[in-house]
Structure 1
Amino acid sequence: MAQSVVVDQVSKKFSLHNARTLKQRFVAARKGVAINESFMAIDDVSFDVQEGQSIGLMGLNGSGKSTMLRLINGVLRPDSGEVLVRGRVAGLIEISAGFQKQLSGRENIYLNAALNGMSEAETKGKFDEILDFAQIDKFLDTPVQHYSSGMKARLGFAVAIAADSDVFIIDEVLAVGDPPFKKKCMKRIHEIRSEGRTVLFVSHNTNQVRKLCDRAIVLERGRLVFDGSVDEAAKRLHYDADDDLDPDGSADF
C-alpha cells in the first residue's frame, strides 16, 4: 500500500511577543520578563500514513495538533524536515478559517471552495449539494459576520466535504453545532472513510476517534510520544469516554 502522508523529522517554531506597546516593554523590562520568546510547536516529529488509513491526532490543548494539520495542509511550512502528501487535501482546520466576515455566505462558499482546490465550475456544479448540507438558505446572502459559530461550522464543513480529495482533514469542528448537525457530520466522515480516502481527525472525543480511526498519534508539547491504538492513546491522555455520537449517526444522550 502506498504512503499518503509522510512527515519526516519536522519542526516548527513560533515566537511569542509578550510586550507590544512601549509601556508594556517598559513594564516587562522592569520585571525582567523576556519581551520575545520562542517555542517549538512541532519538535522533530516523524510518522507516515498509508492510503486509506484513518488517523486520530490526539493530545491536550497546546500539544501541536492543529499546527501539524496546517503543515500537512500546506498552510504552514516546516522550519526543518519535510512533509509530503500524495494527492489533493481538503477539510476544515478551523471553523472560521478562510471566511471573510464582510462577504455573504454565498460568496464565502466560492472562496472556501477555492481554498479547498475546487474550480469555479466545480463549485457551481456542487452548489446545491453544499447548500443542502449546510441548511443556511435564509442567510445565504447575509454577511458571515452575522453567523453563529454553528452556522459557520455547517457552511465550512459542507464546502469541505464537497471537495474531491485524497486526504481529508478535520479539526474539532464537531465541538460546536447542534446534535442533528453533529450526527450528520459523523455519518458523512464515516462515508468518506468507507470510500477509501485517507482521514486525519482531531478530536478530544474519544469515542468519535475510536469509531472513525484505525490508529492514534499522540502529541505532547510538540513531540510525538505515542503511535498505536486509540484505546492506549486515550489511557495515556486520561481521556474519559463520554462521547455522545457514533459514526453511524446515532446519538447516546
Structure 2
Amino acid sequence: MTEPSIDIRGAAVDFPIFDAKSRSLKKAVLGKAGGRIGTDSKVPIIEALRDVDISLRKGDRVALVGHNGAGKSTLLRLMSGIYEPTRGRAAVVGKVAPVFDLAVGMDPEISGLDNILIRGLFLGMTKKQMESRVDDIAEFTELGEYLEMPLRTYSTGMRVRLALGVVTSIDPEILLLDEGIGAVDAAFLAKARDRLNELVERSGILVFASHSDEFLADLCDTAIWMEHGQIREHGPLRDVLHHYKGHDVLADLGRT
C-alpha cells in the first residue's frame, strides 16, 4: 500500500487582478493578500506563493506559522488540490481531509444530527461510516436535545462543538487543518485538544496553520514559517517558533 506523501517543487500560485484601475488599487489588494504584485503583465498579478519546496512523509506533524496573509491558507489549498500551481509542481498521495472552515458543509436549516452526516460526506466519509459515528459525536458535543433542532438556532460556540465533533471523528491519511475553534469555553477546548491528538495519531501527515502556540506544541514537532508567500524557515518546531516570535515559546509554555 502506498504511504501518504506531499512533494512540492518550485511551486508558485498567482492570482490575476482584473479591472484594476490604478496602482493604489493594486496596493490595497496586496496589503490584504500579503503576496507580491507582478508588473510584467498588463493584468496585475498577486504572487500568493513563490518558489515553494516541501517534502512530507508519513508521521510528519508540521505547524504553519506566519502573519495573516503570509500564504499559509494558500499553501494548505495547494496541498489539498483546490489550487493548482501556476509554476512548478505539487504531487500529493493519499486521502486528504482539508479542514479550512468549520462551518463549510453545514446547512443552517436542518438539524444538528443531519448536519453530522452532511459534514462527514463533505470530508470524504461514507454515509455508513458517519452513521456508525453519530452516537460518539453526539456524546462528545454535549449538545443533547439541541441536536434535533435546526442549526440556525445554535450559538457560534454550539456550532463549533458540532463541527469539532465531526472533524475529530474522521480517518484521513493527510489532515490539513486551518484553526477556527476559538469560540468554545476552555473546558471544552481541552476536551477537543484530546480528540485532536487522537485524530493526529490516526492521520499519516498533519499540516496545521494556527496562531495558538499551545495547540502547535501539542500537535506538531516541526514548523514552516511563511512570509510574503515564501518559506522563510523549515525545521524543528522549537527553533522555528523561537526565530519567528523572538523568544523560546516552548520554554514559556513549560515544554522541555
Fold match by TM threshold 0.5: yes
Q: Tell me by how many angstroms 1:83 deviates.
A: 2.6
1:86-129: CA deviations, max 9, x gaps?
Answer: 22122521122222333332232222111111111111111112
AA of the residue aligned to 1:136: L
Aligned-partner Cα distance in 1 for 2:10–2:234: 15
1:129-151: CA deviation from partner (whole Å, max 9, x where unpaired): 22222222332233323333322
- 1:150 is paired with a residue whose SS is helix
Match of 1:236 among 240, 243, 254: 243
In the alignment, what sits opposite 1:178?
185
The residue number in structure 1 matching 2:58 is 51
- Tell me, yes or no, if structure 1 residue 219 matches structure 2 residue 226: yes
Give yes or no for contact 1:52–1:197 (8 Å, CA) kept in 2: yes
Give the structure 2 partner of residue 162 of structure 1. Answer: 169
Give the Å deviation of 1:224: 0.9
**2:97 pairs with 1:60:** no
Compared with structure 1, are the counterparts of its residues 77 and 130 closer, same or farther at alpha carbon in structure 2 (3 Å cutoff)? farther
Question: Which one-letter code corresponds to 2:237 in the other structure?
Answer: V
1:192 corresponds in structure 2 to: 199
CA RMSD of aligned residues (A): 3.1
- Equivalent AA in structure 2 for residue 11 of structure 1: A
Give the direction of change, closer, same or farther, for the CA distance of 1:221–1:162 in structure 2 (3 Å limit): same
- What is the total number of aligned residue pairs between the two structures? 238
Partner of 1:143: 150
Match of residue 79 from structure 2: 72
Consecutive unaligned residues of structure 2, counting only runs of 5 or more, are 30-42
Structure-2-length-normalised TM-score: 0.79
Out of 215-224 and 81-90, give the one that drifted further: 81-90
Q: Kindly tell me: are residues 132 and 53 of structure 1, through their superposed partners in 2, closer, same or farther at Cα, counting changes over 3 Å?
A: same
Runs of 4+ displaced beyond 6 Å: 242-247
Structure 1: runs of 5+ lacking an equivalent: 20-27, 248-253
Matching residue's letter, 2:198: E
CA deviation after TM superposition for structure 1 residue 58, in Å: 1.0
